[in-house]
Amino acid sequence: MSRELLVNEAIDAPRVRLIDAEGRQLGVLSREEALAAAEEAGLDLVMMSAHASPPVCKLLDYGRYKYERSKKASQARKRQQVVQIKEVKLRSSTDQHDLETKLKNVRRFLQAGNKVKLSLRFRGREMAYIDRGAAMLRRVADEVADLAKVEREPNMEGRQMLLILAPLKR
């Protein structure tokens, strides 16, 4: 929330709906009465909703409120995880042991919460065996079915076939 809230004398509405620190509604009061109530309670008058009619104001310690709001925002940023797309390149002639090694990497990427793009490149006459490439990609997808779902089925883009796997929600 980048917008700044209006506080105390910055509030220009003639009448406001006032809510006290415990969340109880005190009714619709004039701006001066609301400021007096805030002064009496030793708190700030903060306009929470300017678009309501009349505007909603709350009695609270504005410095503490700003601090708690910034703490919540930083906690939300910490919990946010950036999903990267990791690419694993294959060839239609990739041998079984090499495929198992690449499969380990795919599993590691998925367990870390990243998406995986499997790209299978065709060269020269290999273009005649596109069905073998699709079968290889489907086999890899079946191997990691416990960790991922297929986000994009195998499809050709130029001379390479792509498959995208997304990790399952835990």
Domain annotation for the chain: domains and CATH numbers: 8-77 (3.10.20.80), 85-167 (3.30.110.10)
pLDDT in tens, 42-54: 888 888 888 888 8
Lowest mean pLDDT among 33-37, 47-51, 68-72, 78-82: 78-82
Q: Is the pLDDT of residue 108 over 90?
A: yes
Task: Evaluate if pTM is beyond 0.75.
Answer: no
Backbone conformation region of residue 23, classed left if phi is above 0, alpha if psi is from -120 to 50, else beta? left
pLDDT in tens, 131-149: 888 888 999 999 999 989 9
* Rounded (5°) CA angle 107-160-93: 70
> Judging by DSSP bridges, how do beta strands 85-91 and 15-19 pair with one another?
unpaired
Rounded Cα–Cα distance for residues 104 and 88 (Å): 11
Query: In whole angstroms, how large is the CA radius of gyration of the chain?
Result: 30
Rounded Cα–Cα distance for residues 17 and 75 (Å): 31
